[in-house]
Amino acid sequence: MDATATAASSPRQDFKVLGLVSTGHFMSHFYFLVLPPIFPFLREEFGVSFTQLGFLMTAIYGSAAISQIPVGFMVDRYGARIVLTFGLIMMSFGFGLMSLVHDFWLLIVLGIIAATGNSVFHPADYAILNSSITPTRMGRAFSIHTFAGHMGSAVAPASVIFTAAVFGWRTALVLAGAFGLVVMVALTTQWNSLQDDALTKKKDKKTDPEKEAETVKSGLSLLFSKSMIIFFFFFMSLSMTASGMQSFSVAALVATHGMSIEIASTALTAFLFCSAIGILIGGEIADRTDRHDIVAGVSFIIFAIVAVFIALINMPAFVLFALMVIIGIGHGIIRPARDMMLRAAAPKGSTGKVFGFVSAGIAVGSAIAPIPFGYLIDIGSPEWVFYLMAVFMMIALFTVAVPKKIS
């Protein structure tokens, strides 16, 4: 951490930085769920099928995933503040301009532009937090940042549907885009409070092409080192577990134990709510211990055992709810520990590219997971949804156990 970062040591200054960055992360998750709630409006307006609307979301998620790594390099090269600002502008205008189009393919083009802007948040946010927040508060900062993202996902569907129903879907997109521009202005007026650990400073006017090429080469060598590959699979396996729980646990519970969809949905809600609480608890734990690997490992084991238990035993609803609460909290606790482990492994000046790389792993996991989980239900083996989640947790446990030293 540089001198400017160490100066930002007061709780008030940390809270200010965290509030700005977390608001951006809230919006990142919010924007990913702006379009799905208004699919019925879009289908009627553009005369497209739900398959075509699914392609729209595939294009958006795919663009965000592909952009993560180059954006990470840009964060470390030019600084997180300027990359974050341009990302917010692209994202806000992308979604805002969707309100003006009358051609579905233009909607896809704007979606790709908006998703590319959205890809800046993980690399830029973590670079700023890493250099602006007092180290002793870093775990709690990571947890609040993650919690803000979860809240963005939770708020988006209801607010977008309400706005679209009252004022129309085009107005809903205009307001969503305008909100992003407001946050962008707030960030740019507070630039002096946001530090990042970019190696190249603005005062370095001259750029040596050979040195630049060498920097990119060394950055790629870092990302494809044993340590970072392990972290990639670590983040990917956690993403696949979360995807299985969020998308297929309800169907699996109904098919495996004959539960009503209401009980199964309530159990999932308990998991998601307690996962959010667990994130905040995990932040406190992360600031009180350096053994983040043990914290994560214990949570993995508990999750795997409970998942197998749910698959094997037909239990009363209150027992299921209790188990979902337990693994929900544990799943949340993992998140700050995960981020702290990666922070410790990231060399100075590489936070952007490192977090961008592993965030691509999250996107890959989210893209792959629905296929095996859906297949298991289709072939009449819904209990294996929980077994597979346990397997992914054991893979995550293995990645934590493997030494990850960077030479």
- SS3 per residue for the chain: CCHHHHHCCCHHHHHHHHHHHHHHHHHHHHHHCCCHHHHHHHHHHHCCCHHHHHHHHHHHHHHHHHHHHHHHHHHHHHCHHHHHHHHHHHHHHHHHHHHHCCCHHHHHHHHHHHHHHHCCHHHHHHHHHHHHCCHHHHHHHHHHHHHHHHHHHHHHHHHHHHHHHHHCHHHHHHHHHHHHHHHHHHHHHCHHHCCCCCCCCCCCCCCCHHHHHHHHHHHHHHHCCHHHHHHHHHHHHHHHHHHHHHHHHHHHHHHHHCCCHHHHHHHHHHHHHHHHHHHHHHHHHHCCCCCHHHHHHHHHHHHHHHHHHHHHCCCCHHHHHHHHHHHHHHHHHHHHHHHHHHHHHCCCCCHHHHHHHHHHHHHHHHHHCHHHHHHHHHCCCCCHHHHHHHHHHHHHHHHHHCCCCCC
Q: 144-172: per-residue pLDDT in tens? A: 998 998 888 878 888 888 899 899 999 99
Q: 103-158: per-residue pLDDT in tens? A: 999 999 999 999 999 989 888 888 888 888 888 889 899 899 989 988 888 788 88
- CATH architecture classification, 3-194: Up-down Bundle (1.20)
User: Domain coordinates of the chain in residue numbers?
Assistant: 3-194, 219-401
Q: 66-80: per-residue pLDDT in tens? A: 888 888 888 888 888
The pTM (predicted TM-score) of the whole model is: 0.80
**Res 378 pLDDT > 70:** yes
Q: Which CATH class is domain 219-401?
A: mainly alpha
Give the per-residue pLDDT at 93: 94
Q: Which is more confidently placed, 355 or 8?
A: 355
- Asked if domains 3-194 and 219-401 share a fold, the reply is yes
Give the per-residue pLDDT at 383: 93
Give the per-residue pLDDT at 46: 93
Res. 4 pLDDT band, cuts 50 70 90: very low
What's the mean pLDDT when you consider all of the chain?
Answer: 85
**Res 14 pLDDT > 60:** yes
Give the per-residue pLDDT at 208: 58
